[in-house]
Structure 1
Amino acid sequence: MTGFFHETAFYGSDDDFLAIAVPFVEGGLRAGQPTLVACAEKNTALLRDALSDDAVTYLPGADQYARPAEAIASYRAIFGEHAEAGATRIHAIGDVPHPGFGVPWDWWGRYENAVNQAYAEFPLWGLCPYDTRITPPEVLTDVVRTHEYIATASGEHLPSPEFGDGLPLSAPVPDVLEQAPPQVCLVDPTPAAVREAVSAAIAGVRLSEDGAHDVVYAASEIVTNGLSHGVAPVRFRLWTDDSRVVVTVTDRGSGPADPLAGLMPTTATRSAGLGLWILHRTCDYVSMGRDEDGFTVRVSVGGHT
């Protein structure tokens, strides 16, 4: 078999998780194929206790990666090694971060959508289980739209009727700092003017040298993208507290159509490809999506997201 078989599962108890996960892992082992577990700590412990086969490879779960672009790069390298070694089917089960794990969902929701392309070249069967006890409803809605199949505790593998339905994923949530008026608000600014304004605004914020550089670069990059690819007016805003900076750029366009935008490097476009990927590898949080104001890119650096 070739290609990516992207499957999810929903469970409401530890027993249900094991009823889904153990047969999946054991099926890979019986087939003599690479079998990878990349779950969060709790589910990894459950599987270690339930499985005796030391042929299972335990990897850092996606929750161990601060950024989904890093997870994609790491997992692509691992899958590629197994494929080059002759694997005809790689079995991988892993938890995907969401607010139930204490992290924002937006870019991990985009991850779940993007990997349908990012992992398509590999002979991969990927299972992404979600605990309904801690997973918000909007996340579950996105999950059925981004996975082609749904596994059940009874052993069924059902096509997801909502996969690829063309509906947008849930809208990004504004940062708590945005509840206050912005400290900087510019309309159709030049990138140079943005860099100057940001440098002045963050002078009193406790950021590392790299963090300060990341904010200035990110602000300039997303304004450049808005001016080059968006629809005017392009509005830039900035908020800070004593240790964190949030910037947003909103235009009236629809944003990039490619689900991989920002999550994998590309030089296919003049500025919206490689630069956006750099943001996703350096900033603490990046969200992208449409709301009533238009298409917004939101970046947070420093403190806690």
Structure 2
Amino acid sequence: MPGSRYVHDALFFSSPDELVAATVPFVQEGLAAGDAVVVTASAATADVVRAAVDDERVRVLERGSAYARRTPAAVIAFRRLADELTAAGAHRVRVVGETDFGRTEREWLEWQRYEAVLNQALAPWPLWGLCVFDTTRLPEPVLESVARTHSTVVTGRSRTPNPRFVDPADYLRGLPVPWEPLQSGAPQLAVDDVADPVALRHAVAAELAAVGGPREVVEDFLLAVDETTSNAVRHGGPPVGLRLWTSADRVVCTVTDHGPGLDDPFVGYGPAHGEDLSHGGMGVWLARQLCDHVDISSGPDGVTVRLTTDLR
């Protein structure tokens, strides 16, 4: 993106030799330039890179510590990593990263969004990401999304502009809102015009008290519903409506208002006012951190925010 300090490269590899041919020069050139170098990938990929480079200055992070379960936490993790290492004297931070896209199409979509969001969310940070993708393991829809969310493709020592790259905002707006089977049935709770958010919270809490799953997961979901509803009441257009569905394996809630909608496809991947949370602007950001999936649909009649969490 224009003026971005963040560089977002993609490496497609199908063998250890292809992986080594690109990552070794990336790492060695970074170390020579005074950059910090971090590898955060699957154990197999990290072992290949570490063995090929064999330099104690390369920092290896367990993949889960960087690629957290939910995508906004991963964004924050990389921002903090850049801040920490540049404060320690690094000119820039180079990352050999391997996203864990999960096992289901629903999980894939979250991380497809993430790969596009990074182009904007990390733009002010001095990060150079070499994202590596194993073409023998990843499904075709994921590989297709990678080709559309990285501006540069790497092969060995060669970096070339990616002709398939799509403007991140356009890419995000073009992603589908997945069908949710629970919404085919009658909701446990339906409110067409929220007049008392406190009373509504108690009603939602009563319904959620009957579901299974870890209580901390249910409490997080309740907080996300409360924040989303309050956000709609304060900033949306009346009437504000809510629907809640529950099952043995997940909970789903939609909050609808009739305001102008949310046109920013990057909303919720960081606090609206940066790290200082005292200024507010936390509604969608908190929801993305507290729920497995947050889907936003905007149209001429308003906006619907759908929250989904697996009870696991």
Fold conserved between structures, TM > 0.5: yes
Aligned counterpart for 1:27 among listed residues 12, 26, 29: 29
Q: Helix, strand or coil for the counterpart of 1:36?
A: strand
Contact 2:96–2:130 under 8 Å retained in 1: yes
Q: Provide the C-alpha distance between the structure 2 equivalents of 1:272 and 1:254, rounded to a whole number of angstroms.
A: 20
Seq. identity, %: 33
Contact 2:297–2:305 under 8 Å retained in 1: no
- What code does the residue aligned with 1:31 have? A
Deviating above 6 A after TM superposition, structure 1's stretches of 4 or more consecutive aligned residues are 268-272, 291-294
**Gaps spanning 5+ residues in structure 1: where?**
none
- The structural deviation recorded for 1:272 is 8.1
The 3 A distance-change label for structure 1 pair 270 and 220 is farther
Moved more, 125-134 or 252-261: 252-261
Q: Provide the C-alpha distance between the structure 2 equivalents of 1:249 and 1:47, rounded to a whole number of angstroms.
A: 46
* Equivalent in the alignment of 1:117: 120
- What code does the residue aligned with 2:248 have? D
Contact 1:37–1:59 under 8 Å retained in 2: yes
> Is 2:149 the counterpart of 1:149?
no
* Equivalent in the alignment of 1:104: 107
- What code does the residue aligned with 2:311 have? G
* Equivalent in the alignment of 1:276: 284
> What do the CA deviations read for 1:256-297 (whole angstroms, capped 9, x no partner)?
3444422212348999821222223333x1322438997543
Moved more, 45-54 or 172-181: 172-181
* Equivalent in the alignment of 1:238: 244
* Equivalent in the alignment of 2:178: 173
* Equivalent in the alignment of 2:187: 182
* Equivalent in the alignment of 1:46: 48
The 3 A distance-change label for structure 1 pair 144 and 252 is farther
The 3 A distance-change label for structure 1 pair 66 and 223 is same
> Is 2:71 the counterpart of 1:95?
no
> What do the CA deviations read for 1:168-211 (whole angstroms, capped 9, x no partner)?
24224244544544323333434335323312222221244433
**Gaps spanning 5+ residues in structure 2: where?**
none
1:225-264 matched pairs, under 5 angstroms:
225-230=231-236, 234-242=240-248, 244-250=250-256, 255-264=261-270
The 3 A distance-change label for structure 1 pair 110 and 262 is same
Contact 1:249–1:297 under 8 Å retained in 2: yes
> Is 2:292 the counterpart of 1:288?
no
Contact 2:225–2:253 under 8 Å retained in 1: yes
Tell me the TM-score normalized by structure 1.
0.81
> Is 2:74 the counterpart of 1:71?
yes
- What code does the residue aligned with 1:280 have? R
Moved more, 268-277 or 102-111: 268-277
Q: Helix, strand or coil for the counterpart of 1:87?
A: coil
Contact 1:171–1:290 under 8 Å retained in 2: no
- The structural deviation recorded for 1:57 is 0.4
Two-structure CA RMSD over aligned residues (Å): 3.4
- What code does the residue aligned with 2:281 have? G
Q: Provide the C-alpha distance between the structure 1 equivalents of 2:287 and 2:13, rounded to a whole number of angstroms.
A: 34
The 3 A distance-change label for structure 1 pair 231 and 108 is farther
